[in-house]
A and B are shown apart, each in its own frame.
Chain A
């Protein structure tokens, strides 16, 4: 188990209290081939660990559905979703997936993952009036990329 029993209880309780709409988690992975080429540096790939982590998270609420997409076997699905890096986690509530994680959400970012699941489950995201006005002003589609490291 990656998530300790004590933390599982806390998260399960939070999901029970705060999840409103169903949440779908799309996890795009590329399983390790197991092939090691001497002299070549192995690129980091946390797909298997991320899959295990999300399977444990999905077990904590009946409102969470986990879809696992192997991009090596289904490239079209990844292209259709605009996924070019793995592991990729796309959180979907009533709307399409605009809340995404790339890489293993460990340390502080595990908390962000739980928070993200809670956010996309809400019928009305809890933003203040100023933020709502700014979002209404946006004339075109934007992307925000937040770079983090495990802490």
Chain B
């Protein structure tokens, strides 16, 4: 999922990291189970961590959350909109 999306937009870079080979980085994000996915801004700030396999909608939602947006899927045609994420959605 990560690599597929990264290939579709210049906004996203996707790294697959072998946790045992890079223990310092794994410890930084307190990786204790795999897969663990860390979403962040390109400079590494504002990281959000998810443990376990992520359904596509959760993966996409995490991207928007890091960007300060909220995912809203509603209506019969699954109209998709984004809005500023308020305190309640964080």
A140–B13 CA distance with the chains assembled, in angstroms: 11
Q: How many residues of B contact A (CB 8 A)?
A: 49
Given A102-B18, A137-B69, A142-B63, A147–B12 Cβ distance below 8 Å? Answer: no
B40 and A103 contact, CB distance less than 8 A: no
Q: Which of A12-20, A24-32, A53-61, A108-116 contacts B (4 or more CB under 8 A)?
A: A108-116
A49–B7 CA distance with the chains assembled, in angstroms: 26
Given A101-B16, A102-B18, A134-B63, A148–B35 Cβ distance below 8 Å? Answer: yes
Chain A interface main SS type: mixed
**Residue-by-residue, is A62-85 near B (CB-CB < 8 Å gives 1, otherwise 0)?**
000000000000000000000001
Contacting B15 at CB < 8 Å: which of A45, A133, A143, A149?
A: A143
A10–B69 CA distance with the chains assembled, in angstroms: 42
B64 and A99 contact, CB distance less than 8 A: no
A146–B5 CA distance with the chains assembled, in angstroms: 13
A132 and B8 contact, CB distance less than 8 A: yes
Decide yes or no whether B55 CB sits under 8 A from chain A: no
A122 and B67 contact, CB distance less than 8 A: no
B42 and A130 contact, CB distance less than 8 A: no
Across the interface, name the chain A residue whose C-beta is closest to B38: A145
Given A142-B42, A147-B29, A147-B31, A95–B16 Cβ distance below 8 Å? Answer: no
**Residue-by-residue, is B19-46 near A (CB-CB < 8 Å gives 1, otherwise 0)?**
1111001100101001111111110100
B7 and A140 contact, CB distance less than 8 A: no
Q: How many residues of A contact B (CB 8 A)?
A: 47
A126–B1 CA distance with the chains assembled, in angstroms: 11
A131 and B18 contact, CB distance less than 8 A: no
Given A103-B22, A142-B39, A130–B15 Cβ distance below 8 Å? Answer: no
Given contacts A140-B41, A143-B13, A148-B17, 7 further A-B contacts (CB under 8 A): A103-B21, A120-B3, A134-B80, A141-B41, A143-B42, A145-B37, A147-B37
What are 18 sample pairs from A and B whose C-beta atoms fall under 8 A apart? Answer: A44-B20, A91-B3, A98-B7, A98-B12, A115-B3, A120-B3, A134-B82, A135-B8, A139-B69, A140-B42, A143-B14, A144-B13, A146-B36, A147-B37, A148-B16, A148-B17, A149-B19, A150-B20
